[in-house]
């Protein structure tokens, strides 16, 4: 009997599900239970979780696609507005008390939505100031996770008039007052658990009641009552049952303790949600700068500012790109970049490849099939390879610096989510150690557009052929810009457009791509300068219209077969310097040339619309697609 109980207890402890999420509040409706582990929610559940139950000693980490997260280590009868709608993945693990011990800017216990660009300031248990991109922005919404309360102050550093909120405020109203700082705490418990002492033996329905202890009963009376009660009970059964319960509890405790220790050891170097800092290009932030602000860190060339450093752009298409100034903003985060948020100032942080495990390729099936790379840049190379019987391109980094490698992992994660005939197809990732990770994509046998334009004169690359390539580029942009969360490529240029004799024209290189939301501002200086839109150069807010401007520059390359602006020379006869050229572009005083052999009128017409200084005037990708159809019919393009 005892052996059976021990086996039963061991099996229950080894396979138990410790967290259950419900589609209704107060633990009602459909539900799913989870063991310890990491999970992507099934389709439809990312906007349905209304409540959840958590076993003692465990916690659930809910993460949204922008890598913000919340932790529940006790039952939650209601999740509230924000987390009901935005959990995309969950992690079930042993209890850590992380919200208290490691407060950081990825934790989102409360948050303020602003007017203007409608960015969000996420609040945690570390008191701080509410940072706005613009001083004129005002709070229009406040969300608070149930079970917590946020106190808002009209002055910085928790000074001035204050008010405490225990629930969502949509819309936010505070008598015209505007919050400047905050403090979040866990709300005091409002209910106590009642301990009920049974008045009847649980072993016999006709046994006399066991008196509840009272202050007036003496010891002998209580002893006699207990003895009398035991006359109706099989003492052996009682003792055996109690002993069995003790053994089961002890065994379960030992097993859980052992599993917890193993789980903690396995997570010692991989804690994707133990974020010490928020980052703008995860994981790239340093703590204690300004609450709510991001700081980009890469290969620093100087220490002039904690907010601005020079980060070399990875370019694997034989086009050395100068270092770009990347200015940190509040919300420069890529789509589904699920990475460790440990500070990259600590060069010993562990690389997070957990979200690529489903895409990992068998090393025995993958090998390099060339003696030299197809393309090489300052920080990466692309090699011809074979995966099974399929020709592939293998993208590698030259650097083993962890910051660069994690950025590369982020790019691969984004790549793995895209599925379009106009984007180079992602095949998988390969690594022995994460520091050596490679990205494997389909091979495009004609190389990049820049090289193809140089090696093929206009009589070999006709406008009928160019029209087909232009159609593919526009359709690729339409796919990115109408994605579930619109994606800005941010480095659209001829080197990142690949050609194939059978597969046509496709985009590649998403190392600088990112999601564009109405609550975001962008990082400045991203891209290659000849293709950069004026608003990107100037460091103002930009959107998918920046890609449209870059596309207009590519149209000039179709016309001239030359790098943009190479025809512009001042009186000295020398090529314009980068600084002067960028100034002239921003002022609208220069445009790339569209002179070339047999250039159709519609090309210039479309290009000039794309190169408008005002991004709001430029056509979007869908409008460009419709415009191309009009041109095809009007000019009888094949």
pLDDT in tens, 307-363: 333 333 333 333 333 333 333 333 333 333 333 333 344 455 688 898 899 999 988
| 464/430 same-domain check | no
Contact 184, 148 (CB under 8 A): yes
Model confidence over 19-48: pLDDT tens digits? 999 988 999 988 999 999 988 887 667 667
**Nearest CA-CA partner of 507 in 518, 522, 495, 523:** 495
H-helix or E-strand containing 408?
Answer: helix 402-415
Contact 63, 91 (CB under 8 A): yes
As a whole number of angstroms, the distance between CA 581 and CA 589 comes to 10
Across 55-79, b (16+ Cβ under 10 Å) vs e yields beebbbbbbbbbbbbbbbbeebbbb
**If you search the block for the tokens 């190479």, which residue do you land on?**
566
* Candidate list 491, 500, 605, 633, residue with the active-site label: 491
What is the domain extent for residue 592? 448-635
| 393/504 same-domain check | no
Q: Cα–chain-centroid distance for residue 529? A: 27
| 460/405 same-domain check | no
Q: Give percent above pLDDT 70 in the chain.
A: 66
| 49/136 same-domain check | no
Contact 468, 506 (CB under 8 A): no
The verdict on whether 491 is a catalytic residue reads yes
Q: Which of 228-242, 323-337, 435-449, 609-623 has the lowest mean pLDDT?
A: 323-337
Asked whether residue 337 is domain-assigned, the answer is: no
As a whole number of angstroms, the distance between CA 549 and CA 536 comes to 10
As a whole number of angstroms, the distance between CA 434 and CA 360 comes to 11
Q: What is the pLDDT of residue 574?
A: 65
* Candidate list 73, 133, 448, 520, residue with the active-site label: 520
| 165/33 same-domain check | no
Q: How far, in Å, are 27, 81, 100 from residue 92 at the CA level?
A: 18, 22, 18
Asked whether residue 434 is domain-assigned, the answer is: yes
As a whole number of angstroms, the distance between CA 623 and CA 627 comes to 6
Question: What are the φ and ψ backbone dihedral angles of 631, each rounded to 5 degrees?
Answer: -65, -40
CATH number, residue 167: 2.60.20.10
As a whole number of angstroms, the distance between CA 238 and CA 11 comes to 25
**If you search the block for the tokens 């400047």, which residue do you land on?**
180
- Which residue has better confidence, 499 or 508? 499
As a whole number of angstroms, the distance between CA 72 and CA 325 comes to 39
| 202/177 same-domain check | no
Instruction: Grade residue 427 by pLDDT with cuts at 50, 70 and 90.
Output: very high
| 153/46 same-domain check | no
Taking the CB of residue 429, how many other CB atoms lie within 10 A of it? 24
Residue 294 in this model has a pLDDT that exceeds 70: no
Asked whether residue 218 is domain-assigned, the answer is: no
Q: What is the pLDDT of residue 390?
A: 93
Residue 215 in this model has a pLDDT that exceeds 60: no
**Nearest CA-CA partner of 122 in 102, 146, 137, 142:** 142
| 144/177 same-domain check | yes
Q: What is the pLDDT of residue 243?
A: 59
As a whole number of angstroms, the distance between CA 129 and CA 218 comes to 61
Q: What is the pLDDT of residue 175?
A: 80
CATH number, residue 366: 3.30.200.20
Contact 298, 285 (CB under 8 A): no
Judged by phi (left if over 0) then psi (alpha if -120 to 50, else beta), residue 463 lies in alpha
- Which residue has better confidence, 244 or 555? 555
Across 134-163, b (16+ Cβ under 10 Å) vs e yields eeebebbbbbbbbbbbbbbbeeeebeeebe
| 452/592 same-domain check | yes
For residue 471, what is the DSSP state?
H
CATH number, residue 490: 1.10.510.10
Q: What is the mean pLDDT of residues 202-222?
A: 38
174: helix, coil or strand? coil
Q: Is 31 exposed, middle or buried (0-12, 13-18, 19+ CB in 10 A)?
A: middle
Specify which residues 186 forms β-bridges with: 148
**CA angle 605–423–490, rounded 5-degree value:** 65
**Nearest CA-CA partner of 442 in 432, 458, 456, 428:** 428
- Which residue has better confidence, 498 or 262? 498
pLDDT, averaged across the chain: 74
Asked whether residue 257 is domain-assigned, the answer is: no
Q: Give percent above pLDDT 90 in the chain.
A: 36
Contact 207, 229 (CB under 8 A): yes
Q: How far, in Å, are 57, 98, 462, 465, 475 from residue 638 at the CA level?
A: 68, 62, 11, 9, 18
Q: Which two tokens stand for residue 57?
A: 């000693």
Contact 321, 330 (CB under 8 A): no
The verdict on whether 352 is a catalytic residue reads no
| 418/540 same-domain check | no
589 Cβ neighbours under 8 A, 6+ residues apart: none
- What are the helix and strand counts (H, E) for the chain? 13, 27
Model confidence over 231-256: pLDDT tens digits? 334 445 444 556 565 656 666 666 65
Asked whether residue 569 is domain-assigned, the answer is: yes
Asked whether residue 245 is domain-assigned, the answer is: no
Q: How many domains does the chain have?
A: 5
As a whole number of angstroms, the distance between CA 483 and CA 327 comes to 26
Specify which residues 423 forms β-bridges with: 507
Taking the CB of residue 216, how many other CB atoms lie within 10 A of it? 6
Contact 313, 299 (CB under 8 A): no
| 132/23 same-domain check | no
Contact 141, 170 (CB under 8 A): yes
Sheet containing 19-24, strands listed edge to edge, beginning at the edge strand earlier in sequence: 28-34, 19-24, 51-54
As a whole number of angstroms, the distance between CA 436 and CA 457 comes to 40
Q: How far, in Å, are 32, 87, 251, 256 from residue 35 at the CA level?
A: 10, 18, 19, 12
| 465/614 same-domain check | yes
Taking the CB of residue 513, how many other CB atoms lie within 10 A of it? 24
265 Cβ neighbours under 8 A, 6+ residues apart: none
Q: What is the mean pLDDT of residues 186-198?
A: 47
Asked whether residue 228 is domain-assigned, the answer is: yes
Asked whether residue 510 is domain-assigned, the answer is: yes
Domain final position from 46, 71, 101: 101
Q: What is the pTM of this model?
A: 0.48
């Amino acid at each position: 009997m005892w052996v059976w109980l021990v086996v039963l207890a061991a099996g229950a402890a080894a396979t138990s599900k410790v967290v259950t999420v419900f589609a209704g509040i107060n633990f009602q409706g459909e539900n799913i239970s989870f063991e310890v582990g990491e999970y992507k929610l099934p389709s439809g559940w990312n906007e349905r979780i209304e409540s959840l139950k958590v076993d003692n000693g465990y916690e659930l980490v809910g993460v949204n696609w922008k890598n913000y997260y919340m932790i529940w280590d006790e039952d939650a009868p209601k999740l509230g507005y924000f987390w009901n709608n935005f959990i995309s993945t969950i992690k079930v693990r042993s209890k850590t008390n992380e919200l208290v011990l490691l407060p950081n800017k990825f934790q989102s216990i409360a948050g303020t939505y602003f007017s203007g660009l409608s960015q969000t300031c996420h609040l945690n248990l570390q008191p701080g100031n509410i940072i706005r991109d613009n001083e004129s922005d005002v709070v229009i919404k406040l969300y608070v996770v149930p079970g917590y309360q946020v106190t808002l102050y009209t002055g910085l550093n928790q000074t001035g008039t204050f008010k405490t909120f225990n629930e969502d405020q949509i819309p936010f109203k505070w008598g015209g007052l505007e919050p400047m700082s905050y403090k979040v705490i866990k709300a005091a418990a409002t209910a106590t658990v009642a301990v009920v002492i049974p008045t009847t033996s649980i072993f016999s329905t006709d046994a006399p009641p066991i008196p509840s202890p009272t202050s007036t009963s003496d010891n002998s009376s209580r002893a006699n009552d207990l003895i009398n009660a035991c006359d109706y009970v099989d003492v052996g059964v009682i003792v055996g049952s109690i002993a069995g319960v003790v053994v089961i509890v002890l065994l379960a405790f030992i097993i859980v303790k052992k599993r917890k220790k193993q789980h903690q050891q396995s997570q010692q170097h991989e804690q994707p949600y133990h974020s010490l800092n928020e980052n703008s290009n995860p994981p790239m932030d340093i703590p204690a700068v300004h609450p709510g602000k991001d700081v980009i860190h890469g290969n620093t060339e100087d220490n002039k500012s904690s907010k601005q450093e020079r980060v070399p752009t990875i370019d694997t298409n034989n086009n050395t790109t100068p270092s770009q100034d990347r200015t940190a903003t509040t919300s420069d985060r890529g789509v589904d970049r699920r990475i460790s948020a440990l500070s990259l100032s600590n060069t010993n942080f562990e690389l997070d490849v957990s979200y690529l495990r489903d895409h990992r390729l068998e090393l025995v099936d993958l090998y390099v099939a060339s003696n030299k790379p197809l393309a090489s840049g300052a920080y990466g190379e692309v090699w011809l390879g074979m995966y099974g019987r399929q020709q592939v391109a293998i993208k590698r980094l030259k650097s083993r610096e962890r910051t660069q490698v994690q950025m590369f992992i982020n790019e691969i994660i984004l790549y793995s989510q895209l599925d379009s005939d106009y984007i180079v197809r992602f095949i998988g990732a390969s690594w022995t150690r994460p520091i050596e990770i490679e990205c494997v994509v389909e091979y495009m046998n004609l190389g990049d557009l820049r090289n193809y334009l140089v090696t093929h004169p206009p009589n070999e690359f006709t406008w009928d052929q160019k029209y087909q390539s232009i159609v593919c580029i526009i359709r690729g942009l339409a796919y990115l810009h109408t994605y579930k969360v619109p994606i800005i490529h941010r480095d659209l240029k001829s080197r990142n457009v690949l050609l194939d004799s059978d597969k046509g024209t496709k985009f590649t290189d998403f190392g600088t791509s990112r999601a564009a939301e109405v609550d975001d501002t962008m990082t400045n200086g991203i891209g290659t300068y000849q293709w950069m839109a004026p608003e990107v150069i100037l460091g103002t807010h930009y959107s998918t219209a920046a890609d449209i401007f870059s596309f207009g520059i590519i149209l000039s390359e179709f016309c001239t077969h030359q790098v943009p602006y190479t025809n512009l020379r001042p009186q000295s006869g020398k090529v314009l310097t980068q600084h002067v050229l960028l100034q002239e572009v921003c002022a609208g005083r220069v445009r790339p040339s569209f002179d070339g052999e047999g250039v159709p009128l519609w090309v210039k017409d479309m290009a000039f619309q794309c190169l408008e200084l005002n991004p709001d005037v430029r056509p979007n990708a869908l409008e460009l697609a419709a415009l191309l159809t009009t041109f095809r019919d009007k000019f009888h393009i094949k």
